[in-house]
Amino acid sequence: MADIAIRGLTKVYPGGVRALDALDLDVAEGEFFALLGPSGCGKTTLLRTIAGLERATDGTIRLDGTDVTRFPPGRRDVGMVFQDYALFPHMTVLDNIAYPLRVKKAGRADRRRRAKDAADLLGLVGLDGRRPAELSGGQQQRVALARALVAEPRIFLLDEPLSNLDARLRLEARTQLKRLQLHLGITTVFVTHDQAEALALADRIAVMEAGRIRQLGTPVEVFRRPANLFVAAFIGSTPMNLLDGTVRGASVAVAGAELPVPADARDGIPDGADVVCGVRPEYLDYSGDPVDSAFVGTVSVIEHLGGSSLVTLDGEDGPVRVVVAEGREPEPGAEGWAVPRPGRVLLYRDGELVTASEPAMAPSSKDGGHG
Ligand code: ATP
């Protein structure tokens, strides 16, 4: 196990693409860390640079205090699992898993025993003699993980390892991966563009955009208090409502409603400031009767989410979406009110979350302020 300390890491590809831009990041020993962001933001480049498969243009990478920036991949002691598992098609499951030990010139009996242990740990019992083509996608993924595991790396680097799986298998594999990481406690950096996956798995998440980290925090922090409009728009299965408003004294005039300025933003914002008011559909309650300090509109669309529905209210300044419990859905065409829950309205000014110098609502007990 090891911790990772990255300072000023920059990667400029030949041709001038700046894939990483003076990035700082600390990953704690034993942490399950997700790199999340849209396509092209630099996630894979960051992972490959940590592994030593890409050469940093500038900056440093330390593993357990040792500067490995110029080390070749073999000297870094990291295990990497890619999107395509790259299993050897002509080898059996057991030989695939044992391969890194063969490279390290371990004895035959030792290789077999350790490969079997890793196969057992990943629930591959009874599949030892099969070839990759005779396995399901989920089993192939586990063989790839077992193969990375036998080498007993200090760090696991996983690049979208679940992306080849269908939706159901992906959920199962995700749970297994979480269980495995908890069990082994190996420092793991995990790349995904799927925010639900990052929220579900990670101890902490770095949300990236254009080679930089836009927010670093626990899943709860990133979900509840996105630090800027980029993260606010990116995180959440049902997108956050982002509505233009203006501060008037102790209230915000937004989408026809007058909402109190959140307590934690009060001394951070001048009268008359233009703001964007952010509130998640999950943090609004629907009412069929008039309510003060609520968004009003006409019910236009009802989308079933399973145990709840997403209701769109068309208001005078645009749509507002609210999650409504099963069986409570209004009729299309009805007039409805969306009532924000206390402490769940966020204000953004110039794209950044407005917070008081002393936040009134601590986002979580964990400190996300590494790096
Ligand atoms: P995705 O989710 O699509 O895999 P990503 O966030 O992992 O994207 P990277 O693959 O790290 O992003 O790419 C970051 C940027 O660097 C992109 O603009 C990409 O086009 C560019 N890039 C990646 N690899 C190379 C390369 N070998 N040569 C030149 N440019 C590259």
Mean pLDDT, 10 residues at a time, over the chain (371 residues)? 92 96 96 95 96 96 96 89 82 92 86 88 85 87 87 89 78 82 89 92 96 96 95 92 92 88 80 94 95 93 94 92 94 95 91 68 42 34
Alpha-carbon distance values, 249 to 199, 245, 252 (Å) = 36, 13, 8
- Distance between Cα 18 and ligand 1 center (Å): 9
pLDDT of residue 356: 58
What is the C-alpha separation between 170 and 164, in angstroms, rounded? Answer: 8
pLDDT of residue 150: 86
Take atom 14 of ligand 1 and give the residue whose Cα is closest. 42
pLDDT of residue 366: 41
Take atom 29 of ligand 1 and give the residue whose Cα is closest. 13
Residue 50 Cβ inside 6 Å of ligand 1? The answer reads no
For residue 119, what are its two tokens? 């196969």
Q: Are 17 and 50 in contact (CB under 8 A)?
A: no
pLDDT of residue 46: 97
Where is 47: in which H helix or E strand? helix 43-51
Residues facing residue 228 across a β-bridge: 352
Which residues have a Cβ under 8 Å from the Cβ of 231 and sit 6 or more positions away?
207, 214, 215, 222
The closest of 338, 340, 339, 342 to 263, measured between CA atoms, is: 342
Atom nearest to 11 CA in ligand 1: 16
Q: What are phi and psi for residue 25, nearest 5 degrees?
A: -160, 135
What is the C-alpha separation between 332 and 308, in angstroms, rounded? Answer: 16
Q: Which of 9, 12, 21, 44, when mutated, tests ligand 1's pocket best, judged by the most ligand atoms within 8 Å of its CB? A: 44
pLDDT of residue 98: 92
Atom nearest to 54 CA in ligand 1: 27
Q: Are 82 and 141 in contact (CB under 8 A)?
A: no
Residue 219 Cβ inside 6 Å of ligand 1? The answer reads no
- Distance between Cα 34 and ligand 1 center (Å): 17
Find tokens 């920059």 and name the residue.
10
What is the pairing mode between strands 308-315 and 295-304? antiparallel
pLDDT of residue 357: 47
Residue 147 Cβ inside 6 Å of ligand 1? The answer reads no
Where is 167: in which H helix or E strand? helix 167-184
- Would the CA dihedral through 270, 275, 279, 285 be positive or negative? positive
Residue 266 Cβ inside 6 Å of ligand 1? The answer reads no
Domain annotation for the chain: domains and CATH numbers:
4-226 (3.40.50.300), 230-356 (2.40.50.140)
Residue 15 Cβ inside 6 Å of ligand 1? The answer reads yes
pTM of the model: 0.87
Residue 37 Cβ inside 6 Å of ligand 1? The answer reads yes
3-state helix, strand, coil in the chain (%, to 5): 25, 35, 40
Which residues have a Cβ under 8 Å from the Cβ of 288 and sit 6 or more positions away?
330, 334, 335, 336, 337
Q: At what angle do helices 137-150 and 108-121 cross, to 10 degrees?
A: 130
What is the C-alpha separation between 81 and 250, in angstroms, rounded? Answer: 52
- Distance between Cα 19 and ligand 1 center (Å): 6
- Distance between Cα 232 and ligand 1 center (Å): 23
Where is 137: in which H helix or E strand? helix 137-150
pLDDT of residue 369: 39
pLDDT of residue 358: 41
